[in-house]
Amino acid sequence: MTKSRDGDEPKAQDHDPGRRRFLKGVGIAGAGTAIADHLWTEAEAKETQDGARRTVSGATKVTLQVNGQPRAVEVEPRTTLLNALRNHLEPAVTGPKLVCDMGTCGACTVLLEGKPVYSCLVLAVDAVGKQITTVEGLGSPEKPNAVQAAFVEHDALMCGFCTPGFVTTISAYLKKNPNPSLEEVREACKGNFCRCGTYPRVFEAALAAAKSSTPSSSPSQGGRN
């Protein structure tokens, strides 16, 4: 019995990054044409014309707007925004964490045009031309925003691996709803998991941050909705 782990039978010549990776991209993003159009001027990759779709393959240079800075980076069409930030940008942006890699835990949350997204489910090429704000763009250890300060004050973290995701989600939410109820806070961060068990204090911190002030001005542009 011959079987790969996936159950299919890959052949060496099947290793065609262009086709497979691009299809994977379309499958996730559902916007293949838009991806290609974004990149056309910068793509150094091979081009083919396939009906209305054009295929980009191989490594491609793009510019991402990260925390207000233009950042040049080489990615493949299949590279997720999270992997681009963590593994391709130089220097790396590692605030957003890779935890589940399937859009369930929220540890990779970043703001795209001010809206929280799971960056493990966004292709890097789909983020071109959009404002990307990570937890690093919300504040610094020396100058935290109101949510970050409240997280420290209320001990809303233990191991801290989920913390960037929670901070990012809540910071965005408080811009939308500066005076939430406890129930609204729970609802706002239901897409974020914590394993150490910090939830009650995350709620406390979010409510305290809302009370203390509107979140202090962040160096990046967010909150457009």
Q: Among residue numbers 80 through 99, which ones bind another protein (CB under 8 A)?
A: 83, 86-88, 92-99
Q: Give the Cα separation of 170 and 178 in Å (integer).
A: 10
Q: How far is the CB of 52 from another protein (least distance, A)?
A: 26
Q: Which of 39, 111, 127, 157 binds another protein (CB under 8 A)?
A: 157
Query: Per rule CB under 8 A, is residue 181 in the interface with another protein?
Result: no
Q: How far is the CB of 39 from another protein (least distance, A)?
A: 17
Please give, one letter per residue, the 3-state secondary structure of 127-170. Answer: HCCCEEECHHHCCCCCCCCHHHHHHHHCCCCCCCCCHHHHHHHH
Q: Which of 12, 27, 70, 225 binds another protein (CB under 8 A)?
A: 12
Query: Per rule CB under 8 A, is residue 212 in the interface with another protein?
Result: no
Q: Which of 112, 175, 193, 216 binds another protein (CB under 8 A)?
A: 193
Query: Per rule CB under 8 A, is residue 176 in the interface with another protein?
Result: no
Q: Give the Cα separation of 1 and 31 in Å (integer).
A: 39
Query: Per rule CB under 8 A, is residue 27 in the interface with another protein?
Result: no
Binding mask 29-68 for another protein (x = CB under 8 A): ----------------------------------------
Q: Toward another protein, which CB reaches closer, 32 or 96?
A: 96
Q: Which of 15, 41, 52, 217 binds another protein (CB under 8 A)?
A: 15
Q: Toward another protein, which CB reaches closer, 51 or 207?
A: 207
**Span interacting with another protein, options 6-14, 49-57, 111-119, 124-132, rule CB under 8 A:** 6-14
Burial 96-129 (b: 16+ CB within 10 A, else e): bbbbeeeeebbbbbbbbbbebbbbbbbbbbbbbe
Altogether, the residues listed in the chain come to a count of 225
Contacts of 20-27 with C-beta under 8 Å, sequence gap 24+, read: 21/57, 21/76, 21/77, 21/78, 22/55, 22/56, 22/57, 22/77, 22/78, 24/78, 25/77, 25/78, 25/123, 25/125, 26/53
